[in-house]
Amino acid sequence: MGCDKVISYELEIRPIIESSCKTGLGGGTGCHDAWIDDYSQVKSQLVSGTWQNEVLIEKTMPVMPNDFDIDSLTAAEIQTMKCWIDQGYPEN
């Protein structure tokens, strides 16, 4: 998959996050569920480079194996995220 299409946080990235990153424990539990639905907080993780490091480089997120029935990211999901980041992580 090339990066021919503009990738949207709301349409493409958020569904990936919801299926592969959320634990379902919610805010106040020490999990990132408290901020992962908030684009501005996701963007701050991208601006700092934390997101790229943990998701794309070190691949420490999502944690595998886990007790939350969360699967690892597929190659297509990783490529979609890379394209989105390369495009400046547009929200819509």
Whether residue 21 is predicted with pLDDT greater than 80 in this model: the reply is no
Domain boundaries, the chain: 15-20+35-92
Average model confidence (pLDDT) for the chain?
76
- Name the strand (E) or helix (H) holding 14: helix 14-20
Burial (CB count within 10 angstroms: exposed 0-12, middle 13-18, buried 19+), residue 46: middle
pLDDT in tens, 29-85: 445 555 567 788 888 888 998 888 877 877 766 555 556 666 678 888 889 989 999
- pTM of the prediction? 0.73
How many residues appear in the chain?
92
**pLDDT of 30:** 46
- Among residues 2, 1, 8, the alpha carbon closest in space to that of 89 is found at 8
